[in-house]
Chains A and B, each alone.
Chain A
Amino acid sequence: MADPEDRNTGRAGQFADLSALLTGFDRIQLLGTGMVGSYLHAIDAALPEGVLDELLDAFGHLPPGDGAGAAVGAGAGAGAGTDAEAREAREAAVSSAVLDDPKLGPVARNLIVAWYCGTWTALPDGWREAYGTSPLDTDRVLSAEAYQAGLQWVAAGAHPAGALQQGYGAWSAEPETSKAPKGART
């Protein structure tokens, strides 16, 4: 049986793959934040029991894209066009199976915001009435580390305010853009 904490094969690995698909960042970049484990725990705790498993299960049942289901690194050896197409297919699938789902959609969007901003947002009242609540389902910054790890700063080509300083005068240089590279990702 797979170790649930294993970042490649276990639940954490599945969580990282789902997160990569939802955020548009590479799995390897998400692992590099060091936040996969703590987000898994924090989001589990912010949801009624079993909901995150349902989300991961729905993700596990998506039709596999070309090579995407195996979810290894930055698409080494695969043609760029193929990977981009595969990713597009996976995004279409996750859209209908997860994001459009009344129960899983709001959770997935919270997961995206958590990765980008390091915050958890209380689920809508209607959702809580229908599917239950957790005492930790409140508006908050997940942790000081989560704030600093927010992907929004990377997307902006910047750095979190008050952390990861870029050095004297760096702000005078033209910014690096951080668009998702075409293809070459899972």
Chain B
Amino acid sequence: MTGHETYDVVIVGAGVNGALIAKQLTRARLRVLLLEAGPDTASAFDGYTRHLDHFYSASGKGPESAWPQAPNAPQPDTADVRTGDGYFIQRGPHKYASSYSRLLGGSTLHWLGVSLRMLPEDFELRSRYGVGRDWPLGYADLEPYYRSAEWEIGVSADAADQQHLGIEFPDGYDYPMRRIPPSYSDRVLAQAVDGMQVTLADQTATIKIRSYPAARNSIPRDGYSPAGAVDKRLEAQVLGQRCAGNTACTPICPIQARYHAGKTLAQAERRYLTVIAQAVASKILVDPVSGVVQGIEYQRYEDPDSPRHTVHVASGRAYVLAAHAVENAKLMLASGLGGSNGSNGSKGSNGSNGLIGKGLMDHPALYAWGLAPVPVGAYRGPLSTSGIEDLRGGAFRAAHAAFRFDLGNDGWRPATGAPDTTVADAVRKQGLFGTNLRDHLAATLSRQVRFSVAVEQLRSNANTVTIDPRYVDPLGNPRPVISYHIDDYTLAGMAAATGVYRQVFQRAGIKDCTGRSESAWFPEASYDGTSFHYHGMGHFGGTHVMGSSKEDSVVDTDQRSWEHRNLYLVGSGSFPTMGTSNPTLTMAALSLRTAEHMLVELTK
């Protein structure tokens, strides 16, 4: 073991949460060490562009295709879900189908950018509908931090569009940038669909195609300055100050118009920030009597392709785990903190409540795809610009899961591998060539419509991240062992969502082509005689749940560990429930709240 460094705060993980907290703390002149397990290959424009070339040349164009594995900081890949031989050890019964990335910038390097707030009712599911858990804080508590988060990460929307299902804004508030223009496809669908009524569990709802808030640069308001590409050179920074419709938010926005955590890191006060990439946190060192964290042990590797490394310890007055819902839980368990002792499955070692790693959630999602009666201009614009949000809330949640529709602008790509598979089918199966082929593709591709329907999943202590000494990575760190089950509440939501998409297709004259795709594989879950092919949304949550007492939760409302008072576990791992919004904005709001709390604590 070499070296011993002391800081005010040591943060593990350079994703959106670590970056936001590092920025706030360093700007208040606290000395911060940021440890990142993966490499730092995307924080200068030239390196970022090499990732873009990687995407162009990749056979599969999935969410990870621009972001290859670092062997010493391995990551899940959706392509491994089928074979089961990826980073995750999947115990079933259902496959956990989501992924994340371990490098400087984290998974925000390939997120879509959907920045919806959670609904007020999402924080009170138990009180209102008798399911799930209530959060220990409410929408009103988080509302100011949502505003800060929207300005920190740069969200484009019009507040006037977003006031529905109880979402409210203070008078005079608006987003930092105007809404991203809805796609032509959105407008065609809205014309057919807006105002139609659907019934869920005897409740009638009126639906509408609605622009959603997106962390993609648009026309700024009130002197806001959109952050473009991250680089030292001014000419690179000018890039990406407006979305230019690259239709590749996921896996890589070529001009960095879509937010990623590197932008926030670039805004941190560098004099107070030390960033060490290729540094894998391997153990949290804790005083066994007081529970106070004394240091973070980490493994620094020079060569990404070799497991050779040196071991160091970093110390601070406070520690933040911002490594991801799965990695946070993994690191705690590997450090002997907070896990179940296995015998009764509830009580943990060290007298903790055994909740670390328990309650893993996602938004299991369905694709629905079809052909519109007229060209809608698929394969243009941000990957999506609108959704159907009206079924995210309502009394039906007592009976089954809520859901939201994301309306794709990229044809059938994620569902079937189009346009390549549409071409291959036309050439090899239909025998088309020449002008007939070209005409067929012109008529078909531009009419492709695709919805992604993300369904809420509630917390269950049976859904877990654990570790097992038999499964380790090249540095000897444990690989996550995942047990995952999609329960009837969510499956009934999938069934209801299926009914809704069929009505929408019918109303809009869209020919339903949803079915088993020969070229794309998705895991299955069965319910009531129907088999659903679902995919993950990358929305991991629930592994270090937030609560109002140390008996039933891991962290408090400040995301501060009940057991270890100078330790914070941040991110969607803290979520008691997921609602139906993409979690990044809520995580960002919580992290800003945590940073504010830490500033008070550390400057007392």
Chain A interface (Cβ < 8 Å from any Cβ of B): 21-25, 87, 91, 94-95, 99, 108-109, 112-113, 116-117, 119, 121, 139-141, 143-145, 147-148, 151-153, 155-159, 161-163, 165-175, 177-180, 185
B377/A174 in contact, CB under 8 A:
yes
Q: How many residues of B contact A (CB 8 A)?
A: 57
Point out the residues of chain B lying under 8 angstroms from A157, CB to CB. Answer: 375, 377, 380, 442, 445-446
CA distance A113 to B413 in the complex (A): 17
Closest CB in chain B relative to A163 CB, distance in Å: 7
CA distance A140 to B59 in the complex (A): 6
B438/A180 in contact, CB under 8 A:
yes
**A-B pairs with lowest CB-CB distance, top 6:** A171-B381, A24-B438, A175-B377, A158-B379, A144-B56, A162-B248
CA distance A144 to B420 in the complex (A): 15
Interface residues in B428-444 by Cβ distance below 8 A to A read 428, 431, 433-439, 441-443
Q: Point out the residue from A25, A99, A153, A162 that lies within 8 Å of B438, measured CB to CB.
A: A25
Q: Which residue of A lies closest to B443 (CB)?
A: A179
User: What are 25 A-B pairs at a CB distance below 8 A?
Assistant: A24-B438, A87-B435, A91-B434, A99-B433, A109-B428, A109-B433, A116-B427, A153-B419, A156-B379, A157-B380, A158-B377, A158-B445, A159-B247, A159-B379, A161-B248, A161-B410, A163-B246, A166-B245, A167-B244, A168-B242, A168-B244, A174-B377, A175-B375, A177-B442, A179-B442
Q: Which residue of A lies closest to B448 (CB)?
A: A156
Closest CB in chain A relative to B192 CB, distance in Å: 16
Residue of A87, A139, A166, A168 with highest tally of chain B CB at under 10 A: A168
B57: interface (CB < 8 Å): yes
Which of B180-188, B388-396, B463-471, B489-497 contacts the other chain? B180-188
CA distance A143 to B439 in the complex (A): 26
Interface residues as binary, B70-97 with A (CB distance below 8 Å gives 1, 0 otherwise)? 0000000000000000000000000000
Closest CB in chain A relative to B319 CB, distance in Å: 38
Q: Point out the residue from B181, B255, B419 that lies within 8 Å of A169, measured CB to CB.
A: B181
B57/A152 in contact, CB under 8 A:
no
CA distance A156 to B431 in the complex (A): 19
Point out the residues of chain B lying under 8 angstroms from A177, CB to CB. Answer: 375, 442, 446
B423/A171 in contact, CB under 8 A:
no
CA distance A94 to B437 in the complex (A): 14
Point out the residues of chain A lying under 8 angstroms from B413, CB to CB. Answer: 161
Q: Point out the residue from B55, B181, B424, B441 that lies within 8 Å of A162, measured CB to CB.
A: B55
A171/B382 in contact, CB under 8 A:
yes
Interface residues as binary, B406-433 with A (CB distance below 8 Å gives 1, 0 otherwise)? 0001110100000110111001100101
CA distance A152 to B422 in the complex (A): 9
